[in-house]
Amino acid sequence: MSHVFPPFEPESSVRSGKSPKKRRAIGFRGREVPVRILIPSMFTLLALCAGLTAIRMAIEHRFDVAIAAIVLAAVLDGLDGRVARLLKASSRFGAELDSLADFVNFGVAPAIVVFTWALGGFRSMGWIVVLVFAVCAALRLARFNVALDADEPDWKGDYFVGVPAPAGALIVMLPLYVEGMGVPGVRDFAPLILAYTLGIALLMVSFVPTYSGKLFGQRVAREYVLPVFVLGALFVAVLLTYPYKTMTIGTVLYLAVIPLSFMSYRKREAEFAKTAKSQNGSRKRKSKPPPEQPGTQA
């Protein structure tokens, strides 16, 4: 052996010899890999470290740090894919690593946090519920990976099927945010927290459509660039100054928007079906042969 470590092959796991439809292969020649190819995976690994740190903080009952670590993991998870597309460094290796990290960050870590915070008193029942939450997160991520290769209409890209795993991890900790605001006796409602955790787990694997970030677009008009910067800085300042209030309001707003996204999805689905039906009808009329004229012979 000339090397201790095997060479980095970001696309070697693709059996067909080419990347799936929405995961374009990266191109480089020679034995050296450009550094830009590694940057998105570094974001993913940093997010994984944050998720693992959240588990440790939960075991030590430092729940404020655990929440901050999961929020940081969610931020890094939102950045790694965008950085990969910006640098044209998307790879199958990065996608698989991202899914594994997401399971730890948004399946295992919040389950441990909620269990050690309020559900430990239920013993087996509380553990079963957080197990269900972690399993649902794994199933949600697996279904998302499979759906990437599906051929769906473009408008469906504006919606997720079910609550995405990062959002599920953040909204399942709503009771912790409420306690962090100084509301007394939140843990006394442990049975409700148990049911709430189970409900969020089922939402992740449900077919309830939820808005995706693609609705906000990837381009900003020139006159709105400065206001976007100001709003971003304001949001970060508010989040750091009033973290629990900001997370509570954000979680409640997200849950309130789910019925709106469901109605919007159904409306667009009906419009798409109506358009497809009318187009099929027009094709049939065009393909129908003209009637024979009287007096003609076959």
Query: Per-domain residue ranges for the chain?
Result: 35-273
Which residue, among 117, 105, 111, 109, has the nearest Cα to 180 in the 3D structure?
A: 117
* CATH classification code of 35-273: 1.20.120.1760
pLDDT in the model for residue 43: 92
Residue 217: band (very low, low, confident or very high) from pLDDT cuts 50, 70, 90: low
Which of 48-57, 114-123, 249-258, 270-279 is predicted with the least confidence, judged by mean pLDDT? 270-279
Q: How many Cα atoms sit within 13 Å of 278 on the Cβ side?
A: 5
Q: 0.85 exceeded by the pTM? A: no
Residue 242: band (very low, low, confident or very high) from pLDDT cuts 50, 70, 90: very high
What is the mean predicted confidence (pLDDT) over 21-43? 68
Maximum CA pair distance of the chain? Answer: 95
What is the mean predicted confidence (pLDDT) over 129-158? 85
pLDDT in the model for residue 113: 96
pLDDT in the model for residue 100: 93
pLDDT in the model for residue 24: 46
pLDDT in the model for residue 29: 54
pLDDT in the model for residue 65: 96
55 or 121, which is more confident: 55
Which of 28-32, 142-146, 193-197, 222-226 is predicted with the least confidence, judged by mean pLDDT? 28-32
pLDDT tens digits for 160-179?
888 999 999 999 999 999 99
Residue 17: band (very low, low, confident or very high) from pLDDT cuts 50, 70, 90: very low
pLDDT tens digits for 66-122?
999 999 999 999 888 888 888 888 888 888 899 999 999 999 999 999 999 999 888
pLDDT in the model for residue 286: 62
186 or 24, which is more confident: 186
Angle, alpha carbons 205-164-241 (nearest 5°): 135
156 or 176, which is more confident: 176
What is the mean predicted confidence (pLDDT) over 208-216? 76
Tokens found for residue 157: 């890209």
Percent of the chain at pLDDT above 70? Answer: 80
Residue 14: band (very low, low, confident or very high) from pLDDT cuts 50, 70, 90: very low
Neighbours of 258 (CB within 10 A): 15
Burial 65-99 (b: 16+ CB within 10 A, else e): ebbbbbbbbbebbebbbebbeebebbbbbbbebbb
DSSP the chain: ---SSPPP-TTTT-TTSS--TTSPPP---SSPPPHHHHHHHHHHHHHHHHHHHHHHHHHTT-HHHHHHHHHHHHHHHHHHHHHHHHTT---HHHHHHHHHHHHIIIIIHHHHHHIIIIIGGGTHHHHHHHHHHHHHHHHHHHHHHHHTTS---GGGGGEEES--HHHHHHHTTHHHHHHHTT-TTGGGGHHHHHHHHHHHHHHHHS--EEE-GGGG-S---GGGHHHHHHHHHHHHHHHHHSHHHHHHHHHHHHHHHHHHHHHHHHHHHHHHHHHHHHHHHHHHHHHSPPPPPTT---
Residue 268: band (very low, low, confident or very high) from pLDDT cuts 50, 70, 90: confident
pLDDT tens digits for 106-121?
999 999 999 999 998 8
Tokens found for residue 211: 């808005």
What is the mean predicted confidence (pLDDT) over 260-270? 89
Which residue, among 153, 181, 162, 179, has the nearest Cα to 242 in the 3D structure?
A: 181
pLDDT in the model for residue 277: 78
